[in-house]
Chain A
């Protein structure tokens, strides 16, 4: 099945630095989601975006729904040790009649923070 192109694959940063990652697709989505997976746990939803151009924040996290509807970006400001984990993007098409396609996932960005 299709997968999104998520980059970078991994990031090694210093505590306090800002982080940026992105996801691109060859097809259009009307919903973009960002998940975080802590070590040894399942992914947890961080941010959901439903409109092209939308910019949404959740604490130090900010995500944007690209205008082309084929990409999305996640930024983390002033990283802290608990930000360590794998971040997944996911795209979805929701239909006006109430149906939806399943989620298409990126392969994840592995964030490692050096104190």
Chain B
């Protein structure tokens, strides 16, 4: 089974801090995604990547950036954290080599910005 590991389950950061959320997968999947989840809004795509050093904006990229220097690792960066970025962040991976059966999600990072 694919394992998708998010480095922190809970984070508390101060407004203005630079925040790094890390996601690591162990099954050589080419596609990786970052979502945020808020009550009533569902899953909203922030950024995704189809390959090393490649990145594409999702639906809500403002205030975020990403880095994918290695295939197994996809980092989400909050350049200057703000309180409206308090949310649950979910990383997901996908590979069309497995038939496109769907994404595998990490356990999530619940970020609170104070």
Contact = CB atoms under 8 A, between A and B. Distances in A.
A59 B22 CA distance: 35
Contact of A108 (B9, B42, B101, B106): B42
Interface string A68-99: 00000000000000000000101010100011
Chain A interface residue number, banded = 20 to 34
Interface of B: 4, 9, 33, 40-43, 45, 48, 58-59, 90, 92, 94, 96, 99-108, 110
A107 interface: yes
Contacts of B41: 107
15 contacts: A31-B100, A31-B101, A35-B102, A40-B9, A40-B108, A42-B4, A43-B105, A45-B101, A45-B102, A92-B100, A99-B96, A102-B33, A102-B48, A103-B103, A105-B42
Contacts of A44: 105
